[in-house]
Structure 1
Amino acid sequence: MTLTLFLQNILNGLSIGSVYAIFALGYTLVFSILGIINFAHGAVFTLGAYFTYFLMGGATGFNGLLANAKLPFSLPFGLATLVSGVLAGLVGVAIERLAFRPLRRRGSDPLLTVVSSLGVALVIVNVIQYLVGAENYTFPAGAFGNLPPAINFGTAANPIPIRTVQIVIFLVSGVMLTVLTYLINGTKYGKAMRAVAEDATTSSLLGIDPDRFIVLTFFVSSFLAGVAGTLVGSSVSIAGPYFGIGFGLKGLAVIVLGGLGSIPGAVVGGLVIGLIEAFVPGEYSAYKDAIAFGLLFIMLLVRPQGLLGRKLIQKV
């Protein structure tokens, strides 16, 4: 492998790995609060991509209830991404209210909540298919304005071309990770969220409303999923309503690899899997997912708590 190809793979891996990281952080936030996996997260990821596509002036296809439909306005990519993230966050709040809170208040088995979130995910993807069909949707041309399609990070003799969309993905993901880190570690919301995650009952005795912060956590988690869906969709197109299912499974691999409930672990896990995928030879690209989950299997055997996770201590 030449140095040029090596550097190009590094940049590609950091780009997709950063998206894996912000997507997996949504899983991590909910798991740290409730101790369960929100399997509707991948469906919200899909919604985020669709929201941005339509907000940017994209039209529906020939199938579905809303065939050949289009909004009467269009937003620039940055604003559309922000609005779609907020809409995805509101969907996350609705999911918490409908699928999580009733079971939680009844003290139901956590497994029932997992099944409930799976049901919500199936409902969302089927509603999408009913409304806009199962076609692939490609983001409108010129989504990034007058930026060139690729930027050369090398020299004329040894070019290292990187697609502009990958650079945008990396920069947006970096900003998201920075803001989230500050939110968790430097604000009252973050401190309260960590308190609820540690012990919801004790935090309520100290004046913290657990339900309020659980709702906020779902909003932030789904906002991250919506932005991640937009970033991936802008790079590879929206591959139908089940677009987020594969990425949902990849997000699970990331959080297990990094350590369940560990925010730094989600970031490290996402970057590790992104870099590994980037170095998979082209002739074996169809096996990228198998390699990622093979790595996950090995990690579970060698270090079940993940790279940055902590061993669970059984209290007796």
Structure 2
Amino acid sequence: MTFTLFLQNVLNGLSIGSVYAIFALGYTLIFSILGIINFAHGAVFTLGAYFTYFLMGGGTGFNGLLANAQLPINLPFWLAAIVSGGLAGLVGVAIERLAFRPLRRKRSDPLLTVVSSLGVALVIVNLIQYLVGAENYTFPADTYGSLPAAINFGTAENPIPIRTVQIVIFGVSVVILAILTYLINATKYGKAMRAVAEDATTASLLGINPDRFIVITFFVSSFLAGLAGTLVGSSVSIAGPYFGIGFGLKGLAVIVLGGLGSIPGAVVGGLLIGLVEAFVPGEYSAYKDAIAFGLLFAILLIRPQGLLGRSFVQKV
């Protein structure tokens, strides 16, 4: 492998791995608070991509209830991405109110909450298909304005072309991860959120409203999912309503690999899986998911709690 190819693979891996990390952080935040996995997260990922596409003036296809429709607006990509993230966050709040809160207040079996979130995911996916059809949607060619399609690094004799979208994805991901780390570790909301995650009952005795911070967590988690969907959709295309299913499974692999409930673990796990996939030879690209999950299996055999997860000692 030449140095040029090696560097390209590293940059490709960091680009997709950073998206995995953002997406997996949404899983991690909710797991930290409630101790459960939100299986509707992949559907919210899909919604984020669709929201951005339509807010940028994209039209629907020939199928679905809203066939050949178009919103009378055309927002720039960065603004559409922020607005779509906010809309995805509101969807997350609605999911918490409808699928999680009633069962949580009745102290139901956590398995029922998992089933409920799966049901919400199916409803969202089928609603998307009913409204806008199942065809692919491609972001406009000028999504990133006047930026070139690729930027050459290296020397004139040995250029290293890197797609601009990959640089944008990595840059946005780093900024989002930095902001989220600051919010969780250095603000009163982050500290209160961590207190609720540690012990909701004790936090309520100290004047913290657990329901309020659970709602905030769902909003932030879904905002991250929507933003990740936007970044991936702008890089490739929106491959129909089931666009987020594969990323949902990959996000689960990331948080298990990094350690359930560990925010640094989600980042490390996402980047590691992204790099592993990038270095899979082209002739074996169809098996890159299998290779990534094989890595997960091998690491868990050695360290069951994940790379940065904590092992829990059960008292008897």
For this structure pair, what is the TM-score category when the shorter chain's length is used for normalisation? over 0.9
Matched residue, 2:202: 202
2: distance between equivalents of 1:7 and 1:275? 11
Matched residue, 1:288: 288
The AA in structure 2 aligned to 1:308 is: L
1: distance between equivalents of 2:153 and 2:299? 34
Cα offset, 1:160, TM superposition: 0.8
Cα offset, 1:298, TM superposition: 1.3
Cα offset, 1:33, TM superposition: 0.2
Cα offset, 1:77, TM superposition: 0.3
Show structure 1 runs of 4+ deviating over 6 A: none
Matched residue, 1:308: 308
Matched residue, 1:29: 29
What is the aligned-residue identity percentage?
88
Matched residue, 2:251: 251
2: distance between equivalents of 1:28 and 1:313? 21
SS of 1:162's partner is: strand
Point out where structure 1 has 5 or more consecutive residues left out of the alignment.
none
Matched residue, 1:61: 61
Point out where structure 2 has 5 or more consecutive residues left out of the alignment.
none
Cα offset, 1:300, TM superposition: 2.1
Matched residue, 1:186: 186
CA deviations 1:224-254 (Å, max 9, x no partner) are 0000000000001000000000000000000
Count the aligned residue pairs: 316
Once structures 1 and 2 are overlaid, which stretch shifts more, 95-104 or 147-156?
147-156
Once structures 1 and 2 are overlaid, which stretch shifts more, 9-18 or 293-302?
293-302
SS of 2:151's partner is: strand
1: distance between equivalents of 2:97 and 2:200? 18
Matched residue, 2:157: 157
The AA in structure 1 aligned to 2:200 is: A
The AA in structure 1 aligned to 2:166 is: Q
1: distance between equivalents of 2:61 and 2:154? 40
Cα offset, 1:205, TM superposition: 0.2
The AA in structure 1 aligned to 2:61 is: G
Q: TM-score, normalised by structure 2?
A: 0.99
RMSD: 0.5
1: distance between equivalents of 2:179 and 2:252? 22
1: distance between equivalents of 2:118 and 2:195? 28
Matched residue, 2:227: 227
2:119 aligned with 1:119: yes
2: distance between equivalents of 1:193 and 1:315? 26
Q: TM-score, normalised by structure 1?
A: 0.99
2:9 aligned with 1:6: no
1: distance between equivalents of 2:153 and 2:187? 37
CA deviations 1:177-232 (Å, max 9, x no partner) are 01000000010010000000000000000000000000000000000000000000
CA deviations 1:270-316 (Å, max 9, x no partner) are 00000000000011111111111111111221111000000012133
